[in-house]
């Protein structure tokens, strides 16, 4: 993410506890600071990408006492739902604005500037940070007030990691059936790129039950017919091969209602 900023027209100051990234960024034209405080004192927008809530708090503890009036702190780390509001209240005492702006897209999206960046916070803070965010991300979503970016990311990652767990069930089933797991992975990536994967069903503005005359009733009725059929076959195959597939069984029970039918 910092390398994308270094390649832009925006002046960039950087700090990290590890020397190797700083050397790489210095070579890319960034100004290397000697501490968090030194970096924070030099900038109008401070982007923070660290591991967890405690590290975010450590960074702000160093940055806030030296911050310029009107500094905008952008927290890219995925933190607990209540943390952004706590940080915003703390920062406000120093005349500092906070955005929670977790990212989605992994190392690949960071490298090529195509991240989705999910932002919570006040309009003025979002406007201040937006030029930097649009360098790092191809989809920048102002999701709402402080905390909304984090809630957005948690909803997105719930699907991400449940899907990973479902993929492990599919792999166990395929392995027991004597299939090539790498070929299965290739097919999943190929078809998800065409259909959109789980996002293909996410076009409604509500999760309420669907009226029979609604366009989506017909679409999702077709999805359910195919899904219940294929899940039933997959569960039967799993039973035959002695493979435990609890998520598949749960999906078989909940698909219809989950889609609003």
State the pLDDT at residue 147.
97
Where are the domain boundaries for CATH 1.10.1040.10 in the chain? 203-261
188: β partners: none
State the pLDDT at residue 184.
97
State the pLDDT at residue 104.
95
Alpha-carbon gap, residue 2 to 14, rounded angstroms: 8
Alpha-carbon gap, residue 87 to 101, rounded angstroms: 13
State the pLDDT at residue 116.
97
| Cβ burial 191-202 (10 Å sphere, 16+ → b, else e) | eeeeeeeeeebe
State the pLDDT at residue 72.
98
User: CA 40: distance to chain centroid?
Assistant: 25
User: Cβ contacts of residue 74 below 8 Å, gap of 6+?
Assistant: 45, 46, 47, 48, 98, 99, 101, 129, 132, 133
**Per the structure block, which two tokens stand in for 97?**
């604005």
Where are the domain boundaries for CATH 3.40.50.720 in the chain? 2-152
User: CA 164: distance to chain centroid?
Assistant: 15
State the pLDDT at residue 102.
97
Q: Which residues are tagged catalytic?
A: 153
Alpha-carbon gap, residue 134 to 45, rounded angstroms: 13
Residue with tokens 């209240």: 89
- Return the CATH class of domain 203-261: mainly alpha
What is the helix, strand, coil percentage profile of the chain, to 5? 60, 10, 30
What does pTM read for this prediction?
Answer: 0.90
CATH 3.40.50.1390 fits 2-152, yes or no: no
Of the candidates 240, 238, 185, 241, the residue with the CA atom closest to the CA atom of residue 252? 238
User: Cβ contacts of residue 66 below 8 Å, gap of 6+?
Assistant: 37, 40, 41
User: What's phi and psi for 212, nearest 5 deg?
Assistant: -60, -25
State the pLDDT at residue 89.
97
- Are the beta carbons of 157 and 78 closer than 8 angstroms? yes
State the pLDDT at residue 152.
97
pLDDT in tens, the chain (261 residues): 999 999 999 999 999 999 999 999 999 999 999 999 999 999 999 999 999 999 999 999 999 999 988 999 999 999 999 999 999 999 999 999 999 999 999 999 999 999 999 999 999 999 999 999 999 999 999 999 999 999 999 999 999 999 999 999 999 999 999 999 999 999 999 999 999 999 999 999 999 999 999 999 999 999 999 999 999 999 999 999 999 999 999 999 999 999 999
């Amino acid at each position: 993410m910092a390398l994308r900023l270094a390649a832009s027209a925006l002046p960039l100051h950087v700090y990290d506890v590890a020397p190797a990234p700083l050397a790489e960024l210095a070579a890319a034209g960034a100004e290397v600071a000697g501490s968090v405080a030194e970096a924070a004192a030099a900038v109008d927008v401070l982007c923070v990408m660290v591991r967890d809530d405690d590290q975010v708090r450590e960074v702000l503890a160093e940055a806030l006492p030296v911050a310029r009036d009107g500094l905008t702190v952008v927290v890219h780390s995925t933190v607990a739902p209540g943390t952004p509001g706590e940080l915003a209240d703390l920062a406000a005492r120093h005349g500092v604005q906070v955005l929670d702006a977790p990212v989605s897209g992994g190392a690949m999206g960071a490298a090529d500037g195509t991240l989705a960046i999910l932002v919570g916070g006040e309009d003025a803070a979002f406007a201040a940070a937006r030029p930097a965010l649009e360098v790092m991300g191809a989809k920048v979503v102002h999701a709402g007030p402080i905390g909304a970016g984090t809630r957005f990311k948690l909803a997105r990652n719930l699907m991400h990691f449940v899907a990973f767990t479902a993929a492990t069930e599919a792999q166990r089933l395929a392995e027991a059936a004597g299939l090539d797991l790498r070929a299965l992975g290739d097919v999943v990536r190929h078809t998800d790129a065409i259909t959109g994967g789980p996002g293909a069903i996410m076009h409604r503005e509500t999760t309420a039950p669907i009226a029979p005359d609604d366009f989506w009733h017909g679409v999702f009725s077709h999805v359910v017919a195919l899904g219940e059929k294929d899940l039933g076959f997959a569960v039967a195959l799993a039973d035959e091969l002695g493979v435990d597939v609890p998520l598949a069984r749960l999906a078989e029970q909940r698909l219809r209602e989950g889609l609003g039918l």
